[in-house]
Copies of this chain bind each other. A is one copy, B any other.
Amino acid sequence: MQELFQNFQIRVNDKLYIKDPESSELGKRIVENSILLMDEIGFESFTFKKLSDKINSTEASVYRYFENKHKLLIYLTSWYWAWIDYQVVLHTYSISNAEKKLETIISIVSQTIQADDSFTHIDEGRLFNIMINEYSKSFLTKEVDDDNKDGFFAIYKRVITRLKEAILAVRPEYPFPASLASTVVESALHQHFLKKHFHTITDCNESVEPSEFCKNLVLQTLNVTSQ
């Protein structure tokens, strides 16, 4: 349970920022509005100039918090994974049945996230859109190995590891638990994207959620018959 409370206030790797945005009003406005702006115009068009105009501040002030927009993206996506990790621990720690636990984790990592006002300045719904559209860009770079060494993807890997362990708890002899876990997490976001933009290559739509597919995929793969 200790892991849970360490993460409870959504703590992110402190090398991701120059000055902790949670430590000031301006910092919170930067995070809050960067989510809105990035969702609105996309990561490529997003600049610190546009953001600072939006919040009536200056480029130089934003640069005092984040080195560049790539670090900001990793900050935001790490925040998301920390939040998911928290949800996973919260909703599964009392579940003793391995299959039920696995299903719960899959639900959490693949469900559509709507806004939630538990964490005031962060709009989880809009952040979820960023996850769908921009998450891959945080690691598909020439700097991945350095970033990874700095621990920027630690929380993401922890979420996947939890899923992997839940898979193993159900089927200890399954030979690809890590690959299945990483596939499901990636695929969940991808199916959400396809639903919006490439409906011919997905079965997800208004009535079929990506999480339905994801659950079915894992349970069939592990040969769990109790569906």
Q: Which residues in A have some Cβ–Cβ distance to B below 8 Å?
A: 41-42, 44-45, 133-134, 136-137, 139-142, 144-145, 148, 153, 157, 160-161, 164, 175-183, 186-187, 190-191, 193-194, 197-198, 200-204, 210, 213, 216-217, 220-223
Contacts and interface: CB of A to CB of B under 8 A. Distances in A.
Given A183-B183, A213-B176, A217-B221, A201 B161 contact: yes
Given A157-B201, A217-B217, 7 more contacts: A45-B142, A175-B203, A175-B216, A178-B202, A179-B202, A179-B203, A183-B187
Contacts of A194: 179, 182
Nearest to A163: B201
A216 B153 CA distance: 28
- Where chain A touches its partner, the secondary structure class is helix
Contacts of A197: 139, 144-145, 148
7 contacts: A153-B198, A178-B202, A179-B187, A179-B204, A182-B201, A183-B190, A183-B217
